[in-house]
């Protein structure tokens, strides 16, 4: 298993690379960034784990060398938010960064699983899909927007109401997109079931939807979530790798192109959104099956979903437009 981190010298990239270096499933790890990868790779290379590690910069075809032979590419490249910014404010810079990296994936590792972390995820994943389509290399089962941090936050924030010692033991589907109102936690479907008093539900839902702002505010100009994101990105990457190696029964919400995944067409029709995060059963070839949890949403959650669809449609079109009619 060769893993690549693109954006490896950044706030997310470094701890994510550390976790991948320590992961026994990874045989080779390539770190790519426009700066500082030789230092990060040399530092991590002293860790006595299996993965052989190498760092690459743009010079001397570094991106091509990093991506060649990749089985999984995780992309946290791009600028993060500062207080007062929305994720959509990042589009101007990050859209081009993601487009360039995906063009190179299409050329150098068209069969790799591609996990996009760079914001705005609601638009960068449609950008990635369009770039891959243009190159004739789009496999919807292998392109994922990473929304695991929203799931991790839902698990964590509900703990005060469950009393569960290990918050990760409560499974909560968080669906939709990855920004504000497009993030929809379905607490009514928590397993084991959680009873949330009505007067606490609004605050809890809001905290999951705007958890990113909490970190941006606390970091006060020094960026957004990095360590919790590295944990979440690693958790998702590990599940993709385990499924690729044949482990079955792995399900995790992730933002995918629904019409390309079994069971996804009906969800795309119901939501009006081709790109959407739902629990996805992972298999050897990636997204094996989309699980439709919409029908089980309660009235409160259905209202949240209506707001989600509205916001998400515009974000998706913006990403597609960026590739089809470049500015
Ligand atoms: P950062 O600025 O600390 O790191 C970004 C890295 O990307 C830098 O090292 C930079 O040199 C590198 N980079 C820039 N252009 C590049 C290119 N063309 N190729 C390769 N590398 C390039 O930022 P961060 O805090 O690590 O955040 C990265 C992105 O992840 C942001 O867009 C942020 O909004 C997003 N993010 C997403 C989630 C999520 O849940 N999906 C969570 C947190 C952050
Ligand atoms: C998050 O949810 O923490 C990330 O998307 C980063 C951000 O901008 O909030």
Q: Would you state the structure tokens that stand for residue 224, as one six-digit string? A: 């957004």
Distance CA 246, CA 232 (A): 22
Rounded to the nearest angstrom, the distance between the alpha carbon of 77 and the centre of ligand 1 is 4
Binding site members: 7-13, 33, 81, 87, 94, 117-119, 153, 229
Atom index in ligand 2 nearest the CA of residue 119 equals: 5
Q: Would you state the structure tokens that stand for residue 19, as one six-digit string? A: 């976790």
What is the pTM (predicted TM-score) of this model?
0.98
Q: Would you state the structure tokens that stand for residue 91, as one six-digit string? A: 């589009």
**What is the residue with the minimal CA distance to atom 33 of ligand 1?**
80
Confidence (pLDDT) at 164: 87
Residue 229 near ligand 1, beta carbon < 6 Å:
yes
Rounded to the nearest angstrom, the distance between the alpha carbon of 226 and the centre of ligand 2 is 9
Cβ atoms of residues 202 and 75 within 8 Å: no
Rounded to the nearest angstrom, the distance between the alpha carbon of 222 and the centre of ligand 2 is 13
Rounded to the nearest angstrom, the distance between the alpha carbon of 78 and the centre of ligand 1 is 4
Mutate to test the pocket of ligand 2, among 12, 79, 87, 157 (most ligand atoms within 8 A of CB): 87
pLDDT values of the chain reduced to their tens digit, one per residue, 327 residues: 999 999 999 999 999 999 999 999 999 999 999 999 999 999 999 999 999 999 999 999 999 999 999 999 999 999 999 999 999 999 999 999 999 999 999 999 999 999 999 999 999 999 999 999 999 999 999 999 999 999 999 999 999 888 889 999 999 999 999 999 999 999 999 999 999 999 999 999 999 999 999 999 999 999 999 999 999 999 999 999 999 999 999 999 999 999 999 999 999 999 999 999 999 999 999 999 999 999 999 999 999 999 999 999 999 999 999 999 999
Whether omega before 164 lies within 30 degrees of 0, making that bond cis, reads no
Atom index in ligand 2 nearest the CA of residue 150 equals: 2
Confidence (pLDDT) at 59: 98
Phi-psi region of 46 (alpha: psi -120 to 50; beta: other; left: phi over 0): alpha
Question: Could you give the C-alpha distances from 172 to 5, 39, 261, in angstroms and in order?
Answer: 28, 39, 21
Rounded to the nearest angstrom, the distance between the alpha carbon of 327 and the centre of ligand 1 is 22
Q: Which value does ipTM take for this structure?
A: 0.99
Cβ atoms of residues 268 and 25 within 8 Å: no
Catalytic sites, residue numbers: 178
3-class SS at 321?
A: helix
**What is the residue with the minimal CA distance to atom 4 of ligand 2?**
212
Residue 81 near ligand 2, beta carbon < 6 Å:
yes
Other CB atoms within a 10 A radius of the CB of residue 232 amount to: 22
Cβ neighbors of 58 (< 8 A, separation 6 or more) are 34
| Sign of torsion over alpha carbons 28, 29, 34, 37 | negative
Cβ atoms of residues 186 and 301 within 8 Å: yes
For 318, the enclosing helix (H) or strand (E) is: helix 299-324
Other CB atoms within a 10 A radius of the CB of residue 289 amount to: 16
Atom index in ligand 2 nearest the CA of residue 178 equals: 5
Residue 33 near ligand 1, beta carbon < 6 Å:
yes
Binding site members for NAD(+): 7-13, 33, 94, 117-119, 229
Residue 239 near ligand 2, beta carbon < 6 Å:
no
Confidence (pLDDT) at 163: 85
How would DSSP label each residue in 27-54? SEEEEE-SS-HHHHHHHHHTS-SS-EEE
Binding site members for substrate: 81, 87, 119, 153
Distance CA 17, CA 159 (A): 29
């Amino acid at each position: 298993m060769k893993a690549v981190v693109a954006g490896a010298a950044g706030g997310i990239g470094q701890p994510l690379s550390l976790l991948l270096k320590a992961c026994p499933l990874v045989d080779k790890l390539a770190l790519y960034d426009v700066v500082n990868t030789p230092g990060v790779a040399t530092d991590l290379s002293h860790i006595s784990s299996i993965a052989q590690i190498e760092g690459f910069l743009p010079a001397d075809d570094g991106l091509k060398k990093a991506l060649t032979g990749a089985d999984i590419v995780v992309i946290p490249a791009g600028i993060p938010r500062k207080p007062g910014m929305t994720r959509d404010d990042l589009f101007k810079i990050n859209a081009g960064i993601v487009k360039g990296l995906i063009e190179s994936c299409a050329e150098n590792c068209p069969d790799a699983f591609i996990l996009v972390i760079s914001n705005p995820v609601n638009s960068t994943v449609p950008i990635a899909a369009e770039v891959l389509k243009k190159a004739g290399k789009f496999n919807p089962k292998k392109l994922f927007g990473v929304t695991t941090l929203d799931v991790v936050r839902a698990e964590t924030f509900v703990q005060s109401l469950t009393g569960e010692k290990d918050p990760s033991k409560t499974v909560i589907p968080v669906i939709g997109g990855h920004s504000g109102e497009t993030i929809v936690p379905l607490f009514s479907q928590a397993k084991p079931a959680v009873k949330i008093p009505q007067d606490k539900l609004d605050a809890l839902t809001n905290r999951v939807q705007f958890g990113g702002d909490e970190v941006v505010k606390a970091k006060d100009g020094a960026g957004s979530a990095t360590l919790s994101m590295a944990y979440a990105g690693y958790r998702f990457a590990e599940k993709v790798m385990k499924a690729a190696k044949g482990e079955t029964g792995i399900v995790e919400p992730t933002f995918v192109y629904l019409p390309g995944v079994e069971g996804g067409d009906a969800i795309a029709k119901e939501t009006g959104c081709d790109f959407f995060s739902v629990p996805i059963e992972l298999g050897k070839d990636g997204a094996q099956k989309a699980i439709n949890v919409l029908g089980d949403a309660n009235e409160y959650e259905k209202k949240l979903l209506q707001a989600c669809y509205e916001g998400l449609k515009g974000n998706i079109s913006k990403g597609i437009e960026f590739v089809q009619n470049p500015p």
